[in-house]
Amino acid sequence: SQQGEEDPQALSIQEGENATMNCSYKTSINNLQWYRQNSGRGLVHLILIRSNEREKHSGRLRVTLDTSKKSSSLLITASRAADTASYFCALIQGAQKLVFGQGTRLTINP
């Protein structure tokens, strides 16, 4: 089944640095979404990028999409301790069913 695969599985950086996470997939998509999950909490939608878009910004978040390489990246600039969380990419499978990857665990060190 269609599923995004995040890379790396875990990332640890110093506060203030930029964090980049990647998502690869195998079939064609209409859009790709990124979510965040803080420890022990539900998922929060961050950003959606459509297949005809190459880049999208939201605050300190920048998402790119390369449909020719079937990959997307999430960049968090000027990271903060509060950015410590797991980040997931998600793809639509079939009719309105989202499929998630296993996520990237991001740790921001003070």
Partner 1 sequence: DVKVTQSSRYLVKRTGEKVFLECVQDMDHENMFWYRQDPGLGLRLIYFSYDVKMKEKGDIPEGYSVSREKKERFSLILESASTNQTSMYLCASIGTVPYEQYFGPGTRLTVT
**Under the rule (CB under 8 A), what is the footprint of partner 1?**
1, 30-31, 33, 35, 40-45, 48, 50, 88, 90, 92, 95-103
Rounded to a whole number of angstroms, the minimum distance from the CB of residue 66 to partner 1 is 19
The H or E element that residue 20 is part of is strand 19-24
d(CA 102, CA 100): 7
Cβ-based nearer residue to partner 1, 11 or 48:
48
Cβ-based nearer residue to partner 1, 1 or 14:
1
Rounded to a whole number of angstroms, the minimum distance from the CB of residue 26 to partner 1 is 16
d(CA 107, CA 54): 27
Angle CA(31)–CA(33)–CA(38) in degrees, nearest 5? 175
Cβ-based nearer residue to partner 1, 63 or 101:
101
Measured from the Cβ of residue 23, the count of other Cβ atoms closer than 10 Å reads: 27
Rounded to a whole number of angstroms, the minimum distance from the CB of residue 4 to partner 1 is 10
